[in-house]
């Protein structure tokens, strides 16, 4: 049976982009309906950011215990043969996911958002048919349509998903640690999960097509990560391409830059070669929407080429990050409510939760030079930061990039243990237009990693105190 309803704003997708848009719209008094086919929280809360960070945390603890038991013992801690019970780890992770997704449901309810559980099929720019999970169909007419359908893992023709070839979704729900894991792609997912499974005891081989890991970041920033991979015993094959599965299905065929073929034995292969916007299977192709590659083309207010049809988050292309989706969602709700807003952030921070962590906000030195800026840049080594040493970690640095003429900060990068939390001060400094002198003259608590931020600014001014 088909029922009908009307709403002012219809949001398709309950991920960080869609649910934040709906909450803000509710707060602003906009009548809002949100359709979600799977689970509120989307990729990020259910099969992305949150479960991956939980697994990384558990893996770090297990690795630390294993290293102490293995005789390192330099912290004076004695542990006898730790074991991992991955089922329990996954149950703990699922508990966190449950708390957060339950919280999203409660917030939507609190702000008066109507949630429909089902698959949305777009009929036209103002009508959507929802195949409800309980079997019915609801035709919803709306004034504004917000598309926030996210992204899905990119598949390799040579290694399609199935059996031992898995995506991040399966990798975050394994019931046992695979003895031999091949990871294709040394980007965010490949490195975050590859390192986690290595720490959980798997023999890990990472195959990357480019000539270094994390090729999207600058080379200097990723060097400590490459050193750590070596120390952890992760085998890294760069400039190598995968050609498919071996004859028995238990190996991955690869070819290196010199044309040498090899077969890498494996029990599971995680393919993490990027994600593509989810724009198919819901009737979007029937609308006159302009595309940019596989993403929906949007302007700086997230308007598509159709009036009152908006697109945000991964569906609207790179950078595919949860905080960018949320910021866009909040903005669109405000524009619909009549506020004047544009999506023109001075910087969108990016963090890779590897060991060590990598952070970047704004321009790296080479980006700034390419943009024609005359810059001053300096790095402060974490080996000279007391807090880093007390965290048993010394490899890494904090780097600042500023204009040479007025010292306005245009970029920050850092690599090291625990530096992900510095992303807040980095992006704040750039958005507020801080200068090197502002950061250099601010008292930072001791002993914290924040002191390395201040010291990087002082070093760029030629007066660092601790190096
Ligand atoms: P999504 O979160 O993908 O949500 C889209 C939702 O739309 C889904 O729930 C889907 O079911 C629903 N949907 C789609 N089509 C329909 C339809 N027709 N009808 C009804 N519902 C529909 N980003 C970070 O910033 N930090 C991280 O640490 C991080 N870690 C990640 C780790 C992994 C393993 C992965 C895979 C991603 C990670 N990301 C991270 C990326 C982040 O998850 C995404 O950028 C973010 O989820 C995008 O939000 P979104 O709202 O655009 O889409
Ligand atoms: P990615 O773009 O980060 O990395 C993909 C890697 O695969 C690249 O290094 C690329 O050179 C390599 N590659 C591509 N084709 C290949 C091939 N045929 N053989 C070998 N290597 C190949 O993509 P991802 O790791 O899949 O992550 C997808 C997206 O999810 C990211 O771009 C990011 O937006 C988001 N994400 C973010 C975080 C975070 O913020 N911490 C974590 C995970 C995912």
Task: Based on the fold, state whether residues 136 and 209 are members of the same structural domain.
Answer: no
Residue 145 in domain: yes
Task: Give the pLDDT confidence score for residue 243 in this predicted structure.
Answer: 97
Mean pLDDT lowest among 78-82, 142-146, 172-176: 78-82
The CATH number linked to 181 is 3.50.50.60
pLDDT in tens, 383-398: 999 999 999 999 999 9
Q: How many CA atoms lie within 13 A of 96 on its CB side?
A: 18
Task: Based on the fold, state whether residues 261 and 321 are members of the same structural domain.
Answer: no
The set of residues, in sequence order, having a beta carbon less than 8 Å from that of 106 and lying 6+ positions away, is none
Kindly list the distances between the CA atom of residue 65 and the CA atoms of 74, 84, 88, 237, 295, in Å, as whole numbers in the listed order: 12, 11, 17, 28, 44
- Cβ count within 10 A of residue 464: 17
| Token duo for residue 267 | 């029990």
Task: Based on the fold, state whether residues 176 and 106 are members of the same structural domain.
Answer: no
Task: Based on the fold, state whether residues 119 and 234 are members of the same structural domain.
Answer: no
Give yes or no for residue 192 CB within 6 A of ligand 2.
yes
Percent residues over pLDDT 90 in the chain = 96
144 tagged catalytic:
no
Give yes or no for residue 353 CB within 6 A of ligand 2.
yes
35 CA: nearest ligand 1 atom:
20
Cα of 162 vs centre of ligand 1, distance in Å, is 21
Task: Based on the fold, state whether residues 259 and 395 are members of the same structural domain.
Answer: no
Q: How long is the chain?
A: 467
Task: Give the pLDDT confidence score for residue 72 in this predicted structure.
Answer: 60
What does the alpha-carbon distance between residue 214 and residue 236 come to, in Å, rounded to a whole number?
12
> In the predicted model, is pLDDT for residue 246 greater than 70?
yes
DSSP state of 404: T
Kindly list the distances between the CA atom of residue 293 and the CA atoms of 11, 15, 148, 290, 355, in Å, as whole numbers in the listed order: 23, 22, 17, 10, 33
Residue 81 in domain: no
Chain centroid to CA 295: 18
pLDDT in tens, 307-357: 999 999 999 999 999 999 999 999 999 999 999 999 999 999 999 999 999
Mean local confidence (pLDDT), 133-140:
96
> In the predicted model, is pLDDT for residue 194 greater than 80?
yes
Give yes or no for residue 314 CB within 6 A of ligand 1.
yes
Task: Based on the fold, state whether residues 13 and 105 are members of the same structural domain.
Answer: yes
Q: State the residue range of the domain holding 366.
A: 350-460
> In the predicted model, is pLDDT for residue 459 greater than 80?
yes
Evaluate if pTM is beyond 0.95.
yes
Ligand number nearest CA of 360 is: 2
Task: Give the pLDDT confidence score for residue 74 in this predicted structure.
Answer: 79
What does the alpha-carbon distance between residue 22 and residue 36 come to, in Å, rounded to a whole number?
12
Type and span of the H or E element at 240:
none
Whether the CA torsion 382, 194, 208, 292 is positive or negative: it is: negative
Residue 408 in domain: yes
Asked whether 152 and 15 are in contact (CB, 8 A), the reply is no
* Residue closest to 12 by CA, chosen among 108, 109, 145: 145
Task: Based on the fold, state whether residues 109 and 124 are members of the same structural domain.
Answer: yes
| Token duo for residue 17 | 């982009």
- The β-bridge partners of 119 are 131
Give yes or no for residue 150 CB within 6 A of ligand 1.
yes
Task: Based on the fold, state whether residues 263 and 180 are members of the same structural domain.
Answer: yes
Domain count across the chain = 3
191 CA: nearest ligand 2 atom:
25
In which region does residue 257 sit, left (phi positive, over 0), alpha (psi from -120 to 50) or beta (all else)? alpha
Residue 419 in domain: yes
Residue 225 sits at φ, ψ, to 5 deg, of -70, -40
Task: Give the pLDDT confidence score for residue 1 in this predicted structure.
Answer: 83
| Token duo for residue 375 | 């810059």
Q: What is the CA radius of gyration of the chain?
A: 24
What does the alpha-carbon distance between residue 359 and residue 420 come to, in Å, rounded to a whole number?
6
The band of 76, judged by pLDDT with boundaries at 50, 70 and 90, is confident
Give yes or no for residue 12 CB within 6 A of ligand 1.
yes
Calculate the average pLDDT of the chain.
Answer: 97
Type and span of the H or E element at 136:
none
Choose one of 301, 336, 371: the last residue of a domain: 336
350 CA: nearest ligand 1 atom:
25
DSSP string, 262-310: EEEE-SEEEE-S-EEE--SSSSGGGS---EETTEEP--TT-B-SSTTEE
Residue 316 sits at φ, ψ, to 5 deg, of -95, 15
Task: Based on the fold, state whether residues 239 and 292 are members of the same structural domain.
Answer: no
Task: Give the pLDDT confidence score for residue 68 in this predicted structure.
Answer: 83
Q: Where are the alpha helices (DSSP H) in 290-361?
A: 322-336
Task: Based on the fold, state whether residues 383 and 327 are members of the same structural domain.
Answer: no
């Amino acid at each position: 049976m088909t029922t009908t309803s009307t709403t002012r704003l219809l949001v398709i997708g309950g991920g960080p982009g869609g649910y934040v848009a709906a909450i803000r719209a509710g707060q602003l008094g906009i009548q809002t309906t949100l359709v979600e086919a799977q689970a509120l929280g989307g990729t990020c809360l259910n099969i992305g950011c949150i479960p991956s960070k939980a697994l990384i945390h558990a893996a770090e603890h297990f690795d630390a215990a294993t290293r102490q038991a293995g005789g390192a013992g330099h912290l004076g801690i004695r542990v006898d043969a730790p074991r991992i019970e991955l089922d329990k780890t996954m149950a703990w992770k699922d508990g966190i996911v449950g708390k957060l997704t339950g919280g999203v449901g409660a917030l939507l309810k609190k702000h008066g958002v109507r949630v429909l559980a089902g698959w949305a099929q777009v009929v036209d720019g103002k009508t959507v048919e929802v195949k409800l999970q309980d079997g019915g169909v609801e035709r919803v007419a709306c004034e504004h349509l917000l598309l926030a359908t996210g992204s899905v893992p990119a598949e390799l023709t040579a290694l399609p998903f199935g059996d031992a070839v898995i995506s991040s979704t399966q990798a975050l729900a394994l019931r046992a640690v695979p003895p031999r894991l091949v990871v294709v792609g040394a980007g965010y997912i490949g490195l975050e999960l590859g390192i986690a499974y290595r720490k959980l005891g798997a023999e890990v081989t990472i195959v990357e097509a480019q000539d270094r890991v994390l090729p999207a970041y600058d080379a200097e920033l990723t060097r400590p990560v490459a050193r750590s991979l070596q120390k952890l015993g992760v085998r890294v094959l760069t400039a190598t391409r995968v050609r498919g599965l071996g004859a028995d299905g238990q190996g991955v065929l690869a070819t290196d830059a010199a044309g040498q073929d090899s077969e890498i034995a494996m029990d599971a292969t995680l393919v993490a070669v990027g994600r593509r916007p989810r724009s198919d299977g819901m009737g979007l192709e029937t609308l006159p929407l302009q595309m940019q590659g596989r993403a929906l083309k949007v302007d700086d207010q997230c308007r598509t080429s159709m009036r009152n049809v908006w697109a945000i988050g991964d569906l609207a292309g790179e950078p595919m990050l949860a905080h960018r989706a949320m910021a866009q969602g909040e903005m669109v709700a405000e524009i619909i409510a009549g506020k004047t807003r544009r999506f023109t952030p001075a910087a969108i921070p990016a963090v890779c939760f590897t060991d060590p962590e990598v952070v970047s906000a704004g321009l790296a030195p080479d980006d700034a030079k390419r943009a024609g800026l005359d810059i001053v840049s300096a790095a402060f080594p974490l080996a000279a930061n007391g807090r880093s040493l007390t965290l048993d970690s010394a490899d890494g640095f904090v780097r600042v990039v500023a204009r040479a003429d007025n010292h306005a900060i245009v970029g920050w990068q850092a690599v090291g243990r625990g530096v992900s939390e510095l992303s807040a001060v980095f992006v704040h400094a750039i958005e507020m237009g801080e200068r090197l002198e502002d950061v250099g003259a601010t008292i930072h608590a001791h002993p914290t990693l924040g002191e390395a931020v201040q010291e990087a600014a002082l070093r760029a001014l030629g007066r660092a105190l601790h190096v």
